A and B are shown apart, each in its own frame.
Chain A
């Protein structure tokens, strides 16, 4: 076991964990931030997506010892214009079905809009392709991202 310091949603935490513990399990089991979900454990599904210094990262495949001084943002701490627009559009389109993958979808969609103001369908394919939704809410994810982009312009 080792004491590891990480910064999550603007707060510093020290956790006593096995150093190879994936960031996902530190967030869920030690910091009780359960909005970030476990889906595959091998960066295949995107349910565990968080921001790592503002960039989307699969937290299931990043050992906590590798986080260092980087800032982690989870769905619980997600804020800002793009995030607000994405959440508003998600609700307007009633995107979620079972909802389990949606934290990861919203993190990836927010990251996309931070990078590209008016994403094309191709941009959406590329940015969202790593986030599986077994309910296949993809049609609404796409429409909601387009609408969020419009909200940000307006």
Chain B
């Protein structure tokens, strides 16, 4: 067996290398980290400085930043290392990043209340914390150099990883002072730079992404690349219908396949253990399983849509209300109505779910693309009956997530531990989901329906009513009591209960539905449907009011000038002069706020002979506060547009008699390179606190395309995907 180079984690590079480790005391409880804890800021973003387990500087002069947010392409390795390097005055070439271990006391996400990644929170959450960590490390290095050179610390300057004392001509690199610095107390008041003196934050071309080189030569290590002596690959036969269970099974034929080591029943299905993926798959195919469908979902998604449509005709729970919308609608005379239908969607990250677990009965070590460490850690410990401190999670690079790995019920961690437990200690396992397991396996963006009613009068939108119908992604999870208030899941109505426009008579209601189909957050969460419904409907009302889509939006004084800011910026970037069409191409606009980041997009669209849209170009303006890594922001806007567009155009999970019809990329159609539009991105300059960019690029593209189709004289698509039945 070959044991692979740990690649990006660089653990080997640090072996035996002494040096400065800022507050890196994993065995101590939180209050023991240092005496320098500061109270949290009142804005919910500022973090206490201590414990600060984020920076290691070796005598080899490498600076390793421990990243508490998982890297799956959205850029936290580079972003958080940038923050620390800025305050350290490090040279970018000496910076490294690795995932932090699972440790709630040290690595809590202050916005989520646990260790985990979600809600586009990495930069927002870590902006102060990582800068303070860098500033403290810098102060300690300066102090160590001052002591050695016998000069005042204030006379030492630090530039690109070099400490200098000009008067005496002495200089040295971080590595030379790492050991001495490690013996000094951690300061709690190291000053932070003024933004004007930033050298890395917000500077074009100042950093290159840390994870890129190993993602171009095959060396980057993902969970699927785990290997260990005597490791067994595990695949699980799960129920074909949502809500079914195993009634009985016969594993004789499976066991007879060369390479199959064992077959066990798990709570989720029947697990086949084999020496490698191929015998595991063949073994699974040879299983004979009788399923108990008593509790199974029997409906089709078409039936659910009919049920939701009926519900949408009845009052729901009030999520937001201002004025008297029924009176305003009655007064206006003409009511404009629209019903929008959104299908179940799979996340389909390129790397299907997978994980590695090694267990000797006393201690367990899991290695996988872990997105919610605290919940997954608790789950593995509970399943194996071990205390938390005997379970270690090593977070690995993940081949995408889009929400799929952020499981409130920790179902992957549970299945991983159950598979290890079923075969007993001493058998390292690698659990693998195939693409079909992934696409048919549920945990979808829920099916949603919005029924909107509105009215215009005197060139203005005077009434707006939205009834939202769909499953809650929180109900039934450990987070239900934390998030659901008075029966309303705010994630079901985000972007619908508060819209960027002031309309005096306004109402948003919610019907929360139940099905046996498990659902989950999906990149940009509630805005995946609300963003579309709201931005299509506002466009339709503005059209009825005879307004230009950009000017009309700008005339409605919203609560945030930043909405207007990105609208103006995108209009300038695109040279907006109305929706057209010009030469058979029309333009549509949409603006959505997601997680405190504002994004406006304009799409230029033509239609083919069958009326299907072809998107040629997209202009995008983003305001995410202080832009830490401009090129990462551009990349996330480009990728978010491609992701949002692919799903709006093509993607749908259809349920028939409780099973998903789609199973792979032949039927669950994904955007390909020839369908990707040209994209221009403008980053609106801002001194506001930085917010995330992983999700906010997604919501505006669908409605921007729909609004362009309306300008082409085609119907504004009210059911997604726009191009159906092509899978």
Residues of A whose CB lies within 8 Å of any CB of B are 1, 17-18, 20-22, 25, 28-30, 32-42, 44-45, 47, 74-76, 87, 90-91, 94-103, 106, 124-126, 128-129, 131-142
A residues in contact with B352, CB < 8 Å: 38-39
Residue contact B350 to A96, C-beta cutoff 8 Å: no
A35 with B639, Cβ < 8 A, contacts A96-B212, A132-B670 known: no
Does A138 contact B673, Cβ atoms closer than 8 Å?
A: yes
Q: Among the interface residues A90, A102, A126, A136, which one has the most CB atoms of the partner chain B within 10 A?
A: A136
Say yes or no: is B485 at the interface (Cβ < 8 Å to chain A). no
- Contacts A37-B399, A40-B665, A106-B216: A99 and B672 contacting too (C-beta < 8 A)? no
Residue of A nearest to B208 (CB): A94
Contact assessment for B349 and A94 in the assembled complex, using a CB-CB cutoff below 8 Å: no
Cβ distance A133 to chain B, nearest Cβ, rounded Å: 7
* A34-B225, A39-B435, A40-B435 as given contacts; A98 in contact with B350, CB under 8 Å: yes
Q: Which residues of B contact A (CB under 8 A)?
A: 1-2, 4, 72-75, 208-209, 211-222, 224-225, 227, 233, 257-259, 275-279, 282, 348-352, 397-402, 434-435, 631-632, 635, 638-643, 645-646, 664-666, 670-674, 676, 678-679
Given the complex of chains A and B, what is the CA–CA distance between A141 and B214 in angstroms?
A: 16
Expressed in whole angstroms, the Cα–Cα distance for A125 and B672 within the complex equals 9
B residues within 8 A CB of A21? 276, 278
For this complex, 16 residue pairs linking A to B, each with C-beta atoms less than 8 Å apart, are A1-B258, A18-B278, A18-B282, A21-B276, A22-B278, A41-B664, A94-B208, A96-B215, A98-B398, A100-B351, A106-B216, A134-B349, A134-B670, A138-B672, A138-B673, A139-B679
Which of A25, A47, A97 has the most B CB atoms < 10 Å from its CB?
A97
- Cβ A44 vs Cβ B213 within 8 A: no
Residue from A18, A91, A101, A135 having most chain B Cβ neighbours under 10 A? A135
Chain A residue at minimal CB-CB distance from B71: A98
**In the complex with contacts A18-B259, A98-B400, A133-B350 CB distance below 8 A:** yes
Decide if the interface of chain A is mainly helix, strand, loop or mixed: loop
> Are the CB atoms of A99 and B211 closer together than 8 Å?
yes
Q: What's the Cα separation between A142 and B676 when bound, in Å?
A: 10
Q: Which residue in A22, A35, A39 is a CB contact (below 8 Å) of B218?
A: A35
**Chain A residues within an 8 Å CB radius of B679:** 139
Closest B residue by C-beta to A94: B209
With beta carbons under 8 angstroms apart, the residue of A22, A40, A135 that contacts B643 is A135
Report how far A87 CA is from B216 CA in the complex, Å. 6
**B218 with A94: CB separation less than 8 A:** no
A45 nearest CB neighbor, chain B only: B665
Q: Is the CB of A44 within 8 A of B635?
A: no
Q: A44-B664, A124-B673, A134-B400 are in contact. Are A25 and B278 (CB under 8 A)?
A: yes
Contact B217 A87 (CB under 8 A): yes
Question: Is the pair B674, A125 in contact by a Cβ cutoff of 8 Å?
Answer: yes
> Closest chain A residue to B672 by CB distance?
A129
Additional A-B contact list (18), CB under 8 Å, known A41-B664, A136-B641: A17-B276, A29-B233, A30-B276, A34-B218, A35-B217, A42-B664, A42-B666, A47-B350, A90-B216, A96-B216, A99-B397, A100-B350, A102-B215, A103-B218, A132-B350, A136-B643, A139-B676, A140-B638
**Would you call B276 and A29 a contact (CB within 8 A)?**
yes
- Contact call A96/B211, Cβ cutoff below 8 A: yes
Known: A34-B4, A129-B672. A17 touches B400 (CB 8 A): no
Q: Would B673 and A142 count as touching, CB distance under 8 A?
A: yes
